């Protein structure tokens, strides 16, 4: 979702949607209405994107061009949800936080002053990790204490082996975060990932993730902002390959040893974060959090 058709430039190298998320978070941080929380997102943007960011009408036009209706609001809401879980884990003394599909995530930096010894693991494609480290080095931004970054292809490599090599410890109270990830994986990869999480953490640990409604993959046209969205994602060189029907999410997780705690559809996120502005949130995605049984 981050390809500029005229120039075919990517906002961030290595992943088709990573740059769009950075651009959206940077826009939200400057937005006087939404007050986004990601103060670091802008550092990952190339010069042309920062120019657009500084010109309101260009920013609006660009956002409209590269995303579906309500995706801007969805990314803002998802960022807030994930922020809340990250901070909660730090406050409650979790020993480990694992961010799968981390992209240009900045939580280890933004909340470093609240971290009292938790190790934070960021996993993503090797190409994404290299680009992130390259930009951070160029900007003079040091890695926070306790952060470990590792490259992985989730569809092909073993999550347990990669994490073990990075220093992950089994049997600890751990938060797993999967933000904008599972919809790009195959079903077997998702199954392996959930199985590893369930068997490797202390019971009571948490998982929070977002997913695409399976009806979207079936092209049923039921949700706000659905029309053409999958094609927009595909134009960035990525494809949604996995979805879950929201009506069965509780049973889906229970069958894999997780207890659903809360669940947000687009409409739920509107009520939680956009009641004052009455903004509409794209309905193709949902966010769930669950406890490991």
Q: What is the pLDDT of residues 127-144, one digit of tens each?
A: 999 999 999 999 999 999
173 & 238 share domain:
yes
55 & 170 share domain:
no
Structural domain boundaries enclosing 250: 71-292
Is there a domain that residue 9 lies in?
Answer: no
111 & 190 share domain:
yes
Q: What is the pLDDT of residue 11?
A: 59
Is there a domain that residue 286 lies in?
Answer: yes
- Gap between the Cα atoms of 157 and 125, Å rounded: 11
152 & 211 share domain:
yes
Is there a domain that residue 220 lies in?
Answer: yes
136 & 254 share domain:
yes
Rounded to an integer, the average pLDDT of 274-292 is 95
Q: What is the pLDDT of residues 180-197, one digit of tens each?
A: 999 999 999 999 999 999
118 & 138 share domain:
yes
Q: What is the DSSP letter of 69?
A: T
Is there a domain that residue 2 lies in?
Answer: no
Is there a domain that residue 287 lies in?
Answer: yes
Residue 7 has pLDDT above 70, yes or no: no
257 & 200 share domain:
yes
Q: How many domains does the chain have?
A: 2
pTM attached to this predicted model: 0.93
pLDDT tier at 4 (50, 70, 90 boundaries)?
very low
Rounded to an integer, the average pLDDT of 158-173 is 98
Is there a domain that residue 45 lies in?
Answer: yes
193 & 62 share domain:
no
CATH of the domain at 104: 3.40.50.150
* DSSP secondary structure letters along 209-258: EEEEBHHHHTT---STT-TTHHHHHHHTT------B-GGGHHHHHHTTTE
Better-predicted residue by pLDDT, 238 or 211: 211
Q: What is the DSSP letter of 280?
A: -
Q: For residue 258, report the phi and psi dihedrals to the nearest 5 degrees.
A: -120, 145
Residue 292 has pLDDT above 50, yes or no: yes
Q: What is the DSSP letter of 5?
A: T
58 & 78 share domain:
no
Q: What is the pLDDT of residue 6?
A: 33
Q: What is the pLDDT of residue 56?
A: 87
53 & 96 share domain:
no
90 & 37 share domain:
no
257 & 214 share domain:
yes
Is there a domain that residue 3 lies in?
Answer: no
- Gap between the Cα atoms of 273 and 33, Å rounded: 11
Is there a domain that residue 268 lies in?
Answer: yes
């Amino acid at each position: 979702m981050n390809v500029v058709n005229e120039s075919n430039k990517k906002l961030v190298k290595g992943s088709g949607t990573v740059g769009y998320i950075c651009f959206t978070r940077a826009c939200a941080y400057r937005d006087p209405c939404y007050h986004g929380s990601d103060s670091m997102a802008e550092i990952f943007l190339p010069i042309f994107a920062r120019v657009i960011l500084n010109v309101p009408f260009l920013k609006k036009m660009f956002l409209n061009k590269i995303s579906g209706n309500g995706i801007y609001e969805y990314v803002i809401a998802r960022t807030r949800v994930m922020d809340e879980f990250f901070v909660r884990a730090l406050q409650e003394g979790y020993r480990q936080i694992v961010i799968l599909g981390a992209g240009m995530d900045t939580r280890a930096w933004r909340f470093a002053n609240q971290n009292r010894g938790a190790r934070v693991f960021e996993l993503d494609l090797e190409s994404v990790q290299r680009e992130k480290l390259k930009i951070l080095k160029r900007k003079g931004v040091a890695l926070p204490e306790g952060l470990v970054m590792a490259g992985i292809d989730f569809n092909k490599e073993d999550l347990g082996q990669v994490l073990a090599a990075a220093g992950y410890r089994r049997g600890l109270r751990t938060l797993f975060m999967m933000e904008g990830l599972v919809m790009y994986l195959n079903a077997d990869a998702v199954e392996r990932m959930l199985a590893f999480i369930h068997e490797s953490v202390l019971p009571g640990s948490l998982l929070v993730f977002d997913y695409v409604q399976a009806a979207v993959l079936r092209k049923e046209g039921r949700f706000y902002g659905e029309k053409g969205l999958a094609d927009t994602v595909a134009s960035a060189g990525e494809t949604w390959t996995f979805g879950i029907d929201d009506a069965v999410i509780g049973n889906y997780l229970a069958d894999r040893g997780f207890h659903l705690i809360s669940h947000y559809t687009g409409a739920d996120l509107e009520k939680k974060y956009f009641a004052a502005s009455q903004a509409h949130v794209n309905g193709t995605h949902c966010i769930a959090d669950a406890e490991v049984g």
